[in-house]
């Protein structure tokens, strides 16, 4: 039975966890050994805690079973059995999720790009709304947000913006936001009250480590220019803005938010590395599974993923067919519930594609 195989692996995980605890109590360990063993112990902690709770529930269920046929205690035993069975199912599902192979990008910081799409000024205003939504969500999570490039319309709208977000597991929370976001509302300038439909595109790029992307300086074309749009006089009067073109791929990035040309160049290079890294990730995912690459882990930017309908006060995520009637809260940064639903959905999709007998190859349980 595949389930039995999974539990054998969980028993090994628990034994390894106990061994690490004993090893960490050894006063003769070197600092590097303490660091390595502590990380291993921490990585296994949630799995072991969940498994132990699961075994405890199984014991309680077994203890209750003989009472089900008892004339006096049968009804009480059945009442107690229902929540135990429900908890057993939840913990079983959680264990399956915890044993899924980790996305290597989950711990990374991100570059988040928002571009106005179809809809003219209304699309630019919607792009501004999305920038505020993600910035407010980052604030709730304690993440740091920095604007790298910003192209405004002058009426409060945004044609394009790129921000960096740094914090704990940023990519793991935002990776499913890539795609086309659609808004349906009555513009302030619409006298007849007609509902307009506009779009904006969101792209979430994991920021790679330096060792993951190697760029040959000879492949780069670097241009300087005066920054445009709102900003201090010094920003607009000097050639501090940087545009970098990667000739082999045609990828273009630019940064103009800093007064220093050197700082703008450093930030533009970070963006370029992220784009090149994403390109390689897409190739890798295509090799693994062309059927799943659009949604699982990459986020196809050409796909309409979500609709924000103001007249009805609702947000609908089309990938998971989820509708929420609290549009103001979500646009104010209350994204946690929606992101949790997306994460659970795509983790479940991943789980269906991985047979349980494959779990022993998981890095987490290579003991």
Least trusted range by pLDDT, from 139-153, 157-171, 233-247, 353-367: 353-367
**Quick check: 300 pLDDT over 50?**
no
> Is the CB of residue 10 less than 8 Å from the CB of residue 55?
no
Q: Which residue has the tokens 């990035």?
A: 253
Q: How far is CA 75 from CA 69, 72, 315, in A?
A: 9, 7, 44
Average pLDDT over residues 150-158: 88
CA triple 285-204-245, angle to 5 deg = 90
Please, what's the largest Cα pairwise distance for the chain? Answer: 89
Alpha carbons 197 and 313: distance in angstroms, whole number? 15
Q: What's residue 286's pLDDT? A: 67
**Quick check: 236 pLDDT over 80?**
no
- Mean pLDDT: which of 95-109, 209-223, 264-278, 342-356 is highest? 264-278
Average pLDDT over residues 65-91: 83
**Spatial CA neighbour of 198 closest among 189, 207, 206:** 189
Average pLDDT over residues 308-313: 95
Mean pLDDT of the chain: 83
**Quick check: 254 pLDDT over 80?**
yes
Least trusted range by pLDDT, from 151-155, 335-339, 359-363: 359-363
Alpha carbons 138 and 160: distance in angstroms, whole number? 19
Average pLDDT over residues 153-171: 91
Task: Report, in angstroms and rounded to the nearest whole number, the Rg of the chain calculated over CA atoms.
Answer: 25
Summarised one tens digit per residue, pLDDT across range 169-201 is 899 999 999 999 999 999 876 767 789 999 999
Kindly give the pairing relationship between strand 304-309 and strand 251-255.
unpaired
Summarised one tens digit per residue, pLDDT across range 10-35 is 888 899 999 999 999 999 989 888 98
Model confidence at 211, in pLDDT bands (50, 70, 90)? low
DSSP label at residue 358:
G
> Is the CB of residue 109 less than 8 Å from the CB of residue 164?
yes
């Amino acid at each position: 039975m595949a389930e039995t195989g999974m539990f054998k692996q969980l028993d090994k995980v628990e034994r390894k966890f106990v061994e690490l605890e004993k090893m960490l109590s050894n006063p003769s360990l070197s600092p590097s050994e303490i660091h390595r063993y502590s990380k291993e112990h921490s990585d296994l902690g949630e799995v072991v805690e969940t498994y132990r709770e699961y075994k405890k529930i199984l014991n309680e269920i077994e203890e209750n079973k003989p009472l089900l046929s008892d004339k006096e205690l049968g009804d009480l035993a059945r009442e107690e059995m229902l929540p135990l069975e429900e908890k057993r199912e939840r913990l079983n599902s959680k264990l399956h999720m915890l044993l899924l192979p980790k996305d290597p990008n989950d711990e990374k910081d991100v570059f988040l790009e928002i571009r106005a799409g179809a809809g003219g000024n209304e699309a630019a205003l919607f792009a501004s709304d999305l920038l505020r939504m993600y910035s407010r969500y980052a604030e709730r999570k304690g993440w740091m947000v920095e604007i790298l490039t910003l192209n405004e319309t002058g009426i409060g709208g945004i044609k394009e913006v790129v921000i960096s977000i740094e914090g704990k597991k940023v990519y793991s929370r935002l990776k499913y936001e890539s795609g086309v976001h659609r808004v349906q509302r009555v513009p302030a300038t619409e006298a007849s009250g007609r509902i307009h439909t506009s779009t904006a595109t969101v792209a979430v790029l994991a920021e790679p480590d330096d060792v993951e992307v190697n760029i040959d300086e000879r492949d780069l074309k670097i241009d300087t220019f005066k920054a445009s749009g709102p900003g201090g006089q010094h920003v607009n009067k000097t050639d501090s803005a940087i545009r970098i073109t990667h000739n082999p791929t045609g990828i273009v990035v630019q940064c103009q938010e800093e007064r220093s040309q050197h700082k703008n160049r450093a930030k533009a290079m970070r963006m370029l590395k992220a784009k090149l890294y994403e390109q390689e990730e897409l190739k890798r995912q295509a090799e693994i599974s062309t059927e799943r690459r659009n949604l699982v882990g990459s986020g196809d930017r050409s796909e309409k993923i979500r609709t924000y309908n103001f007249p009805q006060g609702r947000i609908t995520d089309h990938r998971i067919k989820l509708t929420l009637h609290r549009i103001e809260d979500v646009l104010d940064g209350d994204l946690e519930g929606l992101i949790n639903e997306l994460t659970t959905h795509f983790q479940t999709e991943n789980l269906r594609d991985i047979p349980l007998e494959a779990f022993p190859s998981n890095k987490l349980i290579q003991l």
